[in-house]
Chains A and B, each alone.
Chain A
Amino acid sequence: DAGVTQSPTHLIKTRGQQVTLRCSPKSGHDTVSWYQQALGQGPQFIFQYYEEEERQRGNFPDRFSGHQFPNYSSELNVNALLLGDSALYLCASSLALRFSSSYEQYFGPGTRLTVT
């Protein structure tokens, strides 16, 4: 049973550039959430996608955008990168509430983004 996968593992970008991170959910899951984890902090919720639409959003600027594809995989895009965007970006997948009573989220290993 394939778990949540993310690519790439590591990435180095320059300020002002744009980046795209990718996530494949756990088999059978239809909902994808993205989190940002700065060094020494707990993960912070960015947004959640379900049925190819953004369902919830945290306190992140519009520079952060996403997409969900018909196969439930997802992308996180960040434009005009700032040094402060350096973090571990985590993807989590889950099954919609109407199909699951417990709604636990399963996390991928993350993408480490460094902005120089």
Chain B
Amino acid sequence: DAKTTQPPSMDCAEGRAANLPCNHSTISGNEYVYWYRQIHSQGPQYIIHGLKNNETNEMASLIITEDRKSSTLILPHATLRDTAVYYCIVRVADDKIIFGKGTRLHILP
């Protein structure tokens, strides 16, 4: 079973920041937090990952709480192309990916 809990769906206005929460209260010390997204009928796309520090790349920012029991993925300026299902995953680095149900993000024009 997936080790994360995410809201089933969220809405965000185009141009605003999209903040997607994820709870992972049973995360172990050697488990990373990974985020993927899947646009309709395409393969999942890697977004970002982190262990305990906040991370930022060209796609998004990842904020991990100090106790590591939750995290937030931030898309700074959401566009219609960001409409997708977003998966939060915790795993040991070289382990298989166990996907949950994810969050369906709707970007509203």
**Residues of A with Cβ closer than 8 Å to B?**
4, 33, 35, 41-45, 48, 56, 58, 88, 90, 92, 96-97, 101-110
Q: Would you call B93 and A90 a contact (CB within 8 A)?
A: no
Task: Tell me how far the C-beta of B46 lies from the nearest C-beta in chain A, rounded to whole angstroms.
Answer: 5
Choose, from B13-21, B64-72, B99-107, the stretch at the interface.
Answer: B99-107
Select which of A4, A33, A107, A108 is within 8 A of B96 by beta carbon: A33
Interface centre among A43, A48, A58 (most CB of B within 10 A): A43
**Residues of B with Cβ closer than 8 Å to A?**
2, 34, 36, 41-46, 49, 85, 87, 93-102
In the bound complex, how far is the Cα of B97 from the Cα of A4, in angstroms?
Answer: 17
In the bound complex, how far is the Cα of B31 from the Cα of A103, in angstroms?
Answer: 12
Select which of B41, B46, B93, B100 is within 8 A of A106 by beta carbon: B46
Given the interface pairs A42-B102, A106-B46, A109-B43, the reply to whether A48 lies near B34 with Cβ below 8 Å is no
Select which of A41, A90, A101 is within 8 A of B43 by beta carbon: A90
In the bound complex, how far is the Cα of B43 from the Cα of A43, in angstroms?
Answer: 9
Q: A96-B94, A107-B46, A110-B42 are in contact. List 6 more A-B contacts (CB 8 A).
A: A35-B97, A42-B101, A43-B44, A48-B96, A92-B44, A110-B43
The secondary structure that dominates the A interface is loop
Q: Would you call B49 and A102 a contact (CB within 8 A)?
A: yes
Chain A residues with Cβ below 8 Å from B102 are 42
Given the interface pairs A102-B93, A106-B46, A107-B45, the reply to whether A45 lies near B98 with Cβ below 8 Å is yes
In the complex, the 9 A-B pairs of residues with the closest C-beta atoms, listed nearest first: A42-B99, A107-B43, A97-B94, A103-B93, A45-B96, A104-B46, A107-B44, A43-B99, A109-B43
In the bound complex, how far is the Cα of B1 from the Cα of A23, in angstroms?
Answer: 26
In the bound complex, how far is the Cα of B96 from the Cα of A59, in angstroms?
Answer: 12
Closest to B96 in A: A45
Chain B residues with Cβ below 8 Å from A33 are 96-97
